[in-house]
Amino acid sequence: MLFEALTLQLGYNATLVAIGATLLGVSAGITGTFLFLRKRALVSDAVSHATLPGVCLAFLLMASFGGDGRNLLGLLIGSAVSSAIGLWCLNWLTRNTRLAEDAAIGAVLSVFFGFGIVLLTVIQTLGMGRQAGLEGFLLGSTAGMLWSDAMVIAAGGGLTLILILLLRRPMTLVAFDPEYAAARGVPVHLTDMAIMGLVMAVTVVGLKIVGLILIVALLIIPAVTARFWTERSEHVVLLAGLAGGVAAYLGAAISASAPNLPTGPIIVLVSFALFLVSLLLAPGRGVLAAVLRHRRFQRRVHLRQGLLALAQGQPIYEKLTLRLLRRAGLVRADGVATDQGKARAAKALRDERRWEIVRGDQTHEAAAALYDGLRDIETVLTRDQIAEVDSMIGGPQGVAV
């Protein structure tokens, strides 16, 4: 079943859901990247929760005029208006009061979501709630998705991607350094509003598939996942879009292959799985890479301390140090230094004395700042500088090999 779902062979509805979810995942991943880089990830939470009153009011309005209260386009328009009002309230509170942004987010989120729950309860008491299925907008509901619904989601996702391509440069500048962007003539406030508008668009489009509560995860987790793999902003944007698209596609396929599995939560769990893999295995910033770097650092420290002990005729009691020295061919099995070990030990001791001179000389202040107890002095000073330091120490001149 899973293979058939992955190859879009489970039927019309499953195919629509998979394609719509993939487009949404790509849009959410790319949009969320700028929000994440701007360090305003919590704003997406406020925007998403602010959509619920608009969904309920749109349903009531359409139903009161005898229309189909479940018309997706009408519900999305209502949620867009509501989230726009919530976003305006958030910006007004942040700019015109002493409230910090996180406090303003908490206020907007709780008030709008509470108002939405009240409206949802009122709809259910009027006898329209069960037929409407509005509770599906909380966690997403893809059952019975129509072609028109998929087209609305696809068009919204595609339009969002086009706007991101047009605004990519100013949004990147503002995300990394708003002061520099302002100096370059970029309207920072308007660019921030554009980012928030794109977040609002993705949130509204994603209500049907992921729901207003879980859309935050689809906006932020792919961007965080991508950040583990690269240091370049343009690569983060591309990888975040890829991670969001893959998570949405796999989540929709898993949901379609197993009965009674909700699509939105499964997509979020798959996205978290990708994040977990990146957290553990990313080559530069992952946990495994950090552990390996720490172990390599420990080995270098043990080798350095072992060489200094050999040079000064001190006994070595640390088993790991002895094992590393033997493995490097610097000591014999009985702990006596080899000729190579004696030469390396003499150089290590002399380098320590050289560093003492360098660190005490203000003319070498820049070089002294690089001292970490392990760095070879030849990577910092020239041969002439080392010879000058050696003349101050006395004894053999020149650079030992």
Which of 199 and 141 is assigned the larger pLDDT?
199
Could you read off the pLDDT of 235-279 as tens digits, one per residue? 999 999 999 999 999 988 888 887 777 888 888 999 999 999 999
- Residue 399: is its pLDDT beyond 60? no
Verify that 172 and 46 share a domain, yes or no: yes
Is 301 among the domain residues? yes
Q: Which of 248, 263, 278 is the last residue of a domain?
A: 263
Verify that 186 and 152 share a domain, yes or no: yes
Residue 400's pLDDT band, with cuts at 50, 70 and 90, is: very low
Average pLDDT, rounded, for the chain: 84
CA angle 307, 313, 315 (to 5 degrees): 80
Verify that 234 and 367 share a domain, yes or no: no
Q: Which residues of 244-280 are buried (b: 16+ CB within 10 A; e: fewer)?
A: bbbbbbbbbbbbbbeeeebbbbbbbbbbeebbeebbe
User: Tokens 């932020």 belong to which residue?
Assistant: 220
Verify that 7 and 128 share a domain, yes or no: yes
Verify that 312 and 253 share a domain, yes or no: no
Percent pLDDT > 70 in the chain is: 91
Residue 370's pLDDT band, with cuts at 50, 70 and 90, is: confident
Could you read off the pLDDT of 171-188 as tens digits, one per residue? 888 888 888 888 888 888
* Residue 383 to residue 399: CA distance in whole angstroms: 7
- Residue 142: is its pLDDT beyond 70? no
Q: Determine the structural domain holding residue 388 and report its residue range.
A: 288-393
Amino acid in the structure at residue 130? R
Lowest mean pLDDT among 32-36, 62-66, 350-354, 362-366: 62-66
Is 275 among the domain residues? no
Is 330 among the domain residues? yes
User: What mean pLDDT do residues 190-218 have?
Assistant: 83
Is 277 among the domain residues? no
Is 271 among the domain residues? no
Is 324 among the domain residues? yes
Verify that 181 and 55 share a domain, yes or no: yes
Could you read off the pLDDT of 210-230 as tens digits, one per residue? 777 788 888 999 999 999 999
Verify that 308 and 218 share a domain, yes or no: no
- Residue 49: is its pLDDT beyond 80? yes
Is 259 among the domain residues? yes
Lowest mean pLDDT among 98-107, 202-211, 219-228: 202-211
Verify that 127 and 161 share a domain, yes or no: yes
User: What pLDDT score was predicted for residue 155?
Assistant: 78
Domain count, the chain: 2
User: What mean pLDDT do residues 83-110 have?
Assistant: 87
Verify that 9 and 56 share a domain, yes or no: yes
The end-to-end CA distance of the chain, in Å, is 65
User: What mean pLDDT do residues 204-210 have?
Assistant: 78
Percent pLDDT > 90 in the chain is: 18
The top-scoring range by mean pLDDT among 159-168, 211-220, 335-344 is: 335-344
Cα separation values, 376 from 272, 324, 370, 381, 391, Å: 42, 19, 10, 9, 19
User: What pLDDT score was predicted for residue 275?
Assistant: 95
Could you read off the pLDDT of 268-281 as tens digits, one per residue? 999 999 999 999 99
User: What pLDDT score was predicted for residue 137?
Assistant: 72
Verify that 292 and 250 share a domain, yes or no: no
Whether 161 and 30 have beta carbons less than 8 Å apart is answered as yes
Verify that 319 and 249 share a domain, yes or no: no
- Residue 36: is its pLDDT beyond 70? yes
* Residue 31 to residue 177: CA distance in whole angstroms: 18
User: What pLDDT score was predicted for residue 168?
Assistant: 85
Looking at residue 264, what DSSP letter applies?
A: H
Verify that 307 and 217 share a domain, yes or no: no
Could you read off the pLDDT of 291-325 as tens digits, one per residue? 999 999 999 999 999 999 999 888 888 888 989 99
User: What pLDDT score was predicted for residue 279?
Assistant: 95
Is 281 among the domain residues? no
Number of Cβ within 10 Å of residue 105's Cβ equals: 23
Whether 222 and 243 have beta carbons less than 8 Å apart is answered as yes
Number of Cβ within 10 Å of residue 42's Cβ equals: 17
User: What pLDDT score was predicted for residue 132?
Assistant: 54
Lowest mean pLDDT among 139-148, 180-189, 363-372, 373-382: 139-148
